[in-house]
């Protein structure tokens, strides 16, 4: 047994003879004595590799013509008899052998026990009685033997002895040359036929049911036609040869992620390579059952009796055929590489890719490596490269940066699945490496060279005179002479390559000195990043991070590489090779792209980040400018930092590139100019390439996912932006952006496209910068928590200005500043304010895009937080940009914190010294400086949608109001739309998403904060919600008071200044009845229920998309708006104002609007006319006049106007009215009034008030007396209110319409 272990190839061969076989009559069949020399002659021939032989279960026997019978009286029939093995007789003898070994005891080596077991298995196979063997497999082997007609059948047991046997046979046949046993132990050189040196893609077919399923990138043939053709070729193809049956496993045996197959081949070269590349043999059979992939291979070179074989048999006719619907693989004519080793590309990629799609996993042309940081954290990375682009070099990388190490899981193929924890895991389905030899050296891949020192098969490399191998690039100095891959003498000046460009090595992965300890983990390894790569001399930068999973899939779909020698075709030509899977995808690549997108959807926020690398950029002299090899670890280090969300990236049109000095170049002799060249993009070069990508995508027709169309269009637009070829006709916009760049001096300019990928990118950047905390992906998917600076937590009204031409145009309720003076001050502040930052250009639309009532703007900001919120609150991006002409509102914002080179940013940048929120209504434009919070920074909200829009609407004849819009549908199915204005924090959102407590009624939300109202063509008042999301106060929001809001907030939400629970969710006061035991408060400090401070800021906010609201109205984006039947003004008053009052007419309703006020705790009531006091962008007196004028235009079509107050308290300070869902009872009465029903009302000094019986109180636990108490006007209290109202009117000045004073005088008179 130790012959191979210690003796190696120099150990003598071992034989067993028996001269004493007898016939039935007891006579010896062999003459013996001197005739035994004939057996010895065969033994000598076997030692020399010339004796004729055949395989049997017990060993190698001579063929009948292998024994010299010259001049001996022994017939061939007798010789055949004594060279026959009777398996049953041997099986009958095995118990005695086993008993003898047992008798000897534990001293019998375990290897001898193993040999006995293997012998038993082979004998069972010989009589087709293998225990546990699949009946399907037995039947298939029988059918193949009948078709191919081999001389012998050999079931491979997978043993080390079998491998050596195969190698010996291949040496004897001339296929192998045994290499020097000391220089390269147990290693061999094979030389293929010159016509059989690479994959034959032109002869590779996907035989799916329809050509559409195979797709345009694969050769297709009808499966029935191809089967008939292949069966004709296979008929008798193995005559004169041995048929090897090779059970194999792809992946660790027993892993739930592994797959099984059986290859039948007539090539011992294939058997030897399969021994190295897969797990083979009887242990596979026992695990396999009936679930295996049949793989049939033949070199297609049958031998006639007595015909001498060639060292490399093959056939000029070649087919490699895949039948994904069965599935099975058939290969004919080639003995080389992936054409013949059918477990490799044929099964592990082409067939497995179709299996993965059906079963929800991925089979990819990827290496897998583990990268460990100096701190001991390991990141597993999958990387897809076209062949000969450095996969193996990267998989076995030796880092040049101290403290980092790389371990190899696999160098070529990854099977990836979603684990139980929702992350992506990968296994290497192979057990060996089948790598490209040329270029491999101790410099480029020391680990590979160490792996190749023993137990390796080399194919088509050169042979040195001292019995070792050599290839181009292996050493700096070329050998003086050798034998080249074709068997000819070679010298350095002969003009030929010594090794074929696609020369290969096959070696076991277990020999790799940097093999990862988890490389055979049955569950796989968790993937933190996916890298795509190509071999590009220009255009593609050193490393790029995808903006999102979808963008990463797009990057993978446009992978391109210069043609290599690993496949047929012109070397150097550029071809698009999506995901490096072009030759290996077993189905329509359009469907393959969709499968990647689907996997991303399943992974959600746990999806790995995706990157694209290019080590191969050249300078103008054709020299590589990146050192590559071990220095690629510097790129991997940056990728790991990005996985950990370190803010080391800069957005570009193609993705995120390393920011300045982000790549660790310590100790690297490389200039800054070269680094700039490696980490920059040429938009023109990219634009030149897009038509090729578009044409490539077009071939997939309607199977190409729409998401990839979108990504390509978005990329094209971003590239045009980078060249200042902005796809807009607005010269004003272009000029404004240009002048703003000159003023603010940002490091980068980023035009926002409005895509989902962009939003995810911004959120990732904010997580990396510490502004965002990513919430638990299951508890709160795609949601984030932001914590502001404690000085930047609310609207900054003291810093808010209306800069109209004259102070009287702004009015006394606004702060005014001279436009010229304020512009000068702001210009000084904005000068250089964005240094070190990215300037985002965000085109936005207030209202549905394309609606005649919508308005457009562009916000420029240096805050990614602002951009992320704009994504949720507005329609933004390129679809908006295409609608923008010169008629847009410029909105300029900066946090006012420039960064010096190398200066680290803070998580919430803001300027504590200078803050301004300035509105220029005549231009119109908006400028905001210093604050990053809410309406101070998200300028389309209150700044545009109310302050500027109110002044615009006055000029244009419509109204911009601080109103929710809801629809109320009766049991009869009639819908009424209501606009309602409440002071902040008075329950607008609760009312907008109300769940009625009265049966049959339903409420739907159109908007919760702002309404733009206009007169429609039918003369009625219509409203649109200019926003696309909700920016609400979190405090107090709960499932009890606003279930719909809580449902809306379950995903896709940004929370600001709430608390963070230990399990990664948010919390605020009032959210639950029971407070959490502990959490992290809005300032980032530990909080407990008894800490005596709020966990969330009182103005903590949420931002979420309106489309997620479960009660969003079906007409919420109707471009014409919704018809308003009633307008409601709200008050928060503990006394004085009744539950509900109806105005007597529109003008009286305007008067009620002017009385809006709110009180909180013990503070006196604050007047807030129309709830617009902080938001009216011009003189409040003129604003009131505008309301009166709108009423005149509406005439009898004007909505009815009401005033409500849910907040009256009794003498004990308790609210009388239950509020929340019971407010629907008041809305029901309002609807009855709108319909003109004569519900019982009483006149009061304020207006019409319902009698208690008119309010539906069915099921409401409220005494009639208490209801009556809040349905009346307290004249004495109201009388006391008159002076403060008169004072308000006086403060507004002479612009206030006299009509309001008339109503006030009338009220005062009634109260007297």
Q: Which residues does the annotation mark as catalytic?
A: 389
* Cα 444 off chain centre by: 32
Longest dimension (CA), the chain: 149
How far apart are alpha carbons 438 and 564 in whole angstroms? 12
Question: Is 484:499 a contact under the CB 8 Å cutoff?
Answer: yes
Which residues in 1249-1258 are b (16+ Cβ under 10 Å) and which e? Answer: bbebebbbbe
How does strand 975-981 pair with strand 1122-1131?
Answer: parallel
Q: Bridge-partner residues for 1012, per DSSP?
A: 960, 1024
Cα–Cα distances in Å, from 193 out to 238, 336, 485, 1235? Answer: 19, 9, 10, 93
Question: Is 1257:1228 a contact under the CB 8 Å cutoff?
Answer: no
* Residue 1105 backbone phi and psi in degrees, to 5: -75, 135
How far apart are alpha carbons 52 and 60 in whole angstroms? 10
Neighbours of 1215 (CB within 10 A): 13
- DSSP H or E segment with residue 751: strand 748-751
Question: Is 239:51 a contact under the CB 8 Å cutoff?
Answer: no
Residue tagged 């009034």 (tokens):
1233
Question: Is 904:941 a contact under the CB 8 Å cutoff?
Answer: no
Over its C-alpha atoms, the chain yields an Rg (Å, rounded) of 41
Please compute, for residue 428, the number of CA atoms within 13 A of its CA located in the half-sphere on the CB side.
32
> In sequence order, what E strands does 204-266 have?
204-206, 219-220, 242-250, 259-265
How far apart are alpha carbons 113 and 107 in whole angstroms? 11
Q: Three-state SS for 842? A: strand
How far apart are alpha carbons 186 and 455 in whole angstroms? 5
What does the block give as tokens for 562?
A: 């210069």
Question: Is 1226:987 a contact under the CB 8 Å cutoff?
Answer: no
* CA trace torsion 715, 721, 725, 729 (10° rounding): 100
Q: Bridge-partner residues for 750, per DSSP?
A: 840
Question: Is 488:217 a contact under the CB 8 Å cutoff?
Answer: no
Write the DSSP symbol of residue 667: T
What does the block give as tokens for 828?
A: 């000084």
Count the helices and strands in the chain (H runs, E runs).
Answer: 37, 63
Which among 1110, 933, 8, 7 has a CA at the least distance from the CA of 454?
8
How does strand 1122-1131 pair with strand 362-364?
Answer: unpaired
How far apart are alpha carbons 503 and 829 in whole angstroms? 66
How far apart are alpha carbons 344 and 350 in whole angstroms? 9
- DSSP H or E segment with residue 45: helix 36-48
- DSSP H or E segment with residue 38: helix 36-48
Write the DSSP symbol of residue 650: E
């Amino acid at each position: 047994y130790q012959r191979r272990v210690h003796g190696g190839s120099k150990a003598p061969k071992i034989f067993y003879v028996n001269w004493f076989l007898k016939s039935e009559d007891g006579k010896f069949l062999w003459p013996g004595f001197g005739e035994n020399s004939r057996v010895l002659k065969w033994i000598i021939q076997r030692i020399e590799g010339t004796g004729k032989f055949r395989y049997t279960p017990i060993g190698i026997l001579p063929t009948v013509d292998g024994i010299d019978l010259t001049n001996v009286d022994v017939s061939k029939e007798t010789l055949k008899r004594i060279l026959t093995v009777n398996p049953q007789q041997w099986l009958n003898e095995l118990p005695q052998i086993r008993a003898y070994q047992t008798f000897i005891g534990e001293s019998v080596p375990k290897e001898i026990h193993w040999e006995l077991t293997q012998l038993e298995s082979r004998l069972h196979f010989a009589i087709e009685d293998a225990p546990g063997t699949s009946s399907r497999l037995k039947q298939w082997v029988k059918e193949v033997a009948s078709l191919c007609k081999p001389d012998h059948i050999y079931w491979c047991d997978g043993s080390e002895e079998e491998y050596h046997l195969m190698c010996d046979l291949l040496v004897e046949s001339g296929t192998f040359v045994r290499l020097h046993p000391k220089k390269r132990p147990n290693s061999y050189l094979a030389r293929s036929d010159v016509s059989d040196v690479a994959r034959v893609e032109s002869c590779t077919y996907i035989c799916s049911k329809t050509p559409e399923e195979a797709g345009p990138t694969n050769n297709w043939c009808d499966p029935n036609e191809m089967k008939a053709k292949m069966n004709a070729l296979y008929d008798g193809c193995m005559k004169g040869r041995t048929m090897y049956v090779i059970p194999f496993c792809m992946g660790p045996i027993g892993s739930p992620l592994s797959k099984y197959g059986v290859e039948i081949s007539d090539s011992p070269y294939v058997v030897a390579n399969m021994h190295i590349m897969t797990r083979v043999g009887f242990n596979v059979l026992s695990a396999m059952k009936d679930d295996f992939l049949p793989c049939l291979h033949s070199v297609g070179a049958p031998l006639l009796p007595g015909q001498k074989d060639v060292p490399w048999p093959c056939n000029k006719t070649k087919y490699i055929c895949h039948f994904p619907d069965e599935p099975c693989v058939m290969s004919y004519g080639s003995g080389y590489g992936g054409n013949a080793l059918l477990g490799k590309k044929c099964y592990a990629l082409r067939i497995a890719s179709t299996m993965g799609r059906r079963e929800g996993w991925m089979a990819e042309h990827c290496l897998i490596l583990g990268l460990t940081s100096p701190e001991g954290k390991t990141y597993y990375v999958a990387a897809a490269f076209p062949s000969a682009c450095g996969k193996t070099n990267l998989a076995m990388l030796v880092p040049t940066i101290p403290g980092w190490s790389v371990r190899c899981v696999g160098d070529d193929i990854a099977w990836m699945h979603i684990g139980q924890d929702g992350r992506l895991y990968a296994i290497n389905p192979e057990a060996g490496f089948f790598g490209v030899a040329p270029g491999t050296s101790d410099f480029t891949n020391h680990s590979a060279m160490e792996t190749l020192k023993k137990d390796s098969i080399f194919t088509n490399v050169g042979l040195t005179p001292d019995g070792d191998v050599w290839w181009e690039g292996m050493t700096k100095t070329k050998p003086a002479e050798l034998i080249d891959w074709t068997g000819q003498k070679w010298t350095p000046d002969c003009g030929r390559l010594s090794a074929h460009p696609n020369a290969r090595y096959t070696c076991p992965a277990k020999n790799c000195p940097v093999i990862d300890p988890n490389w055979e983990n049955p569950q796989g390894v968790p993937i933190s990043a996916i890298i795509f790569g190509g071999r590009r001399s220009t255009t593609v930068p050193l490393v790029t991070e995808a903006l999102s999973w979808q963008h990463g899939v797009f990057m993978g779909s446009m992978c391109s590489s210069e043609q290599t020698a690993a496949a047929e075709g012109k070397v150097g030509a550029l071809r698009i090779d999506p995901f490096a899977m072009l030759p290996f995808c077993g189905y329509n690549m359009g469907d393959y792209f969709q499968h990647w997108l689907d996997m991303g959807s399943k992974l959600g926020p746990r999806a790995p980040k995706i990157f694209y690398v290019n080590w191969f950029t050249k300078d103008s002299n054709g020299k590589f400018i990146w050192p590559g090899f071990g220095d690629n670890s510097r790129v991997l280090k940056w990728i790991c930092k990005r996985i950990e969300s370190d803010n080391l990236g800069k957005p570009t049109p193609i993705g995120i590139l390393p920011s300045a000095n982000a790549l660790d170049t310590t100790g690297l002799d490389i200039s800054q100019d070269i680094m700039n060249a490696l980490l920059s993009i040429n938009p023109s070069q990219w634009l030149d390439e897009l038509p090729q990508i578009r044409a490539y995508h077009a071939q997939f027709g309607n199977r190409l996912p729409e998401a990839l169309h979108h990504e390509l269009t978005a990329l094209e637009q971003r590239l045009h932006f980078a060249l200042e070829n902005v796809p807009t006709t607005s010269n004003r916009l272009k000029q404004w952006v240009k002048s703003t760049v000159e003023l603010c001096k940002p490091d980068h300019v980023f035009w926002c496209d409005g895509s989902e990928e962009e939003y995810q990118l911004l959120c990732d950047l904010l997580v990396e910068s510490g502004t965002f905390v990513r919430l638990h992906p299951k508890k709160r998917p795609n949601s984030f928590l932001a914590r502001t600076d404690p000085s930047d937590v609310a609207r900054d009204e003291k810093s808010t200005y209306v800069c109209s031409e004259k102070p009287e145009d702004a009015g006394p309720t606004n702060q005014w500043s001279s436009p010229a003076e304020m512009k000068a001050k702001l210009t000084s502040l904005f000068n250089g304010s964005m240094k070190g930052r990215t300037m985002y250009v965000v085109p936005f639309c207030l209202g549905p895009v394309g609606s005649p009532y919508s308005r457009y703007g562009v916000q420029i900001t240096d805050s990614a937080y602002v951009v992320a919120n704009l994504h949720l609150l507005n329609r933004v991006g390129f679809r908006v940009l295409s609608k923008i002409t010169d008629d847009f509102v410029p909105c300029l914002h900066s946090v006012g914190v420039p960064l010096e080179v190398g200066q680290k940013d803070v998580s919430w940048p803001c300027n504590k010294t200078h803050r301004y929120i300035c509105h220029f209504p005549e231009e119109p434009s908006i400028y905001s400086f210093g604050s990053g919070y809410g309406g101070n920074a998200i300028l389309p909200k209150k700044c545009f949608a109310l302050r500027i829009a109110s002044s615009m609407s006055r000029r244009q004849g419509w109204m911009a109001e601080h109103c929710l819009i809801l629809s109320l549908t009766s049991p009869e199915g009639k819908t009424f739309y209501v606009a309602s204005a409440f002071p902040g924090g008075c329950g607008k959102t609760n009312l907008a998403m109300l769940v009625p407590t009265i049966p049959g009624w339903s409420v739907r939300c159109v908007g919760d904060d702002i309404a733009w109202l206009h007169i429609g063509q039918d003369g009625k008042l219509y409203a649109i919600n200019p926003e696309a999301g909700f920016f609400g106060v979190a405090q107090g929001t709960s499932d009890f008071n606003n279930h719909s809001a809580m449902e809306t907030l379950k995903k896709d939400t940004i929370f600001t200044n709430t608390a963070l629970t230990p399990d990664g969710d948010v919390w605020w006061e009032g959210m639950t009845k029971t407070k959490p035991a502990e959490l992290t408060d809005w300032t980032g400090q530990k909080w407990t229920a008894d800490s005596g401070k709020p966990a969330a800021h009182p103005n903590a906010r949420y931002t979420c998309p309106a489309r997620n609201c479960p009660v969003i109205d079906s007409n919420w984006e109707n471009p014409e708006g919704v018809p308003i039947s009633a307008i409601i003004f709200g008050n928060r008053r503990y006394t004085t104002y009744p539950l509900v009052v109806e105005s007597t007419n529109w003008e009286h309703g305007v008067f009620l609007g002017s009385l809006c006020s709110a009180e909180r705790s013990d503070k006196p009531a604050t007047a807030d006319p129309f709830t617009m006091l902080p938001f009216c962008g011009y003189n409040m007196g003129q604003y009131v006049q505008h309301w009166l004028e709108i009423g005149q235009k509406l005439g009898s079509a004007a909505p009815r106007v009401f005033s409500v107050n849910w907040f009256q308290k009794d003498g004990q300070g308790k609210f009388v009215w239950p509020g929340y869902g019971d407010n629907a009872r008041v809305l029901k009465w309002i609807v009855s009034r709108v319909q003109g029903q004569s519900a019982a009302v009483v006149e009061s000094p304020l207006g019409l008030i319902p009698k208690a019986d008119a309010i539906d109180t069915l099921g409401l636990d409220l005494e009639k007396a208490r209801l009556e108490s809040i349905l009346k006007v307290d004249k004495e209290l109201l009388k006391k209110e008159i002076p403060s109202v008169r004072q308000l009117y006086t403060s507004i000045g002479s612009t206030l319409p006299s009509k309001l004073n008339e109503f006030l005088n009338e009220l005062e008179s009634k109260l007297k």
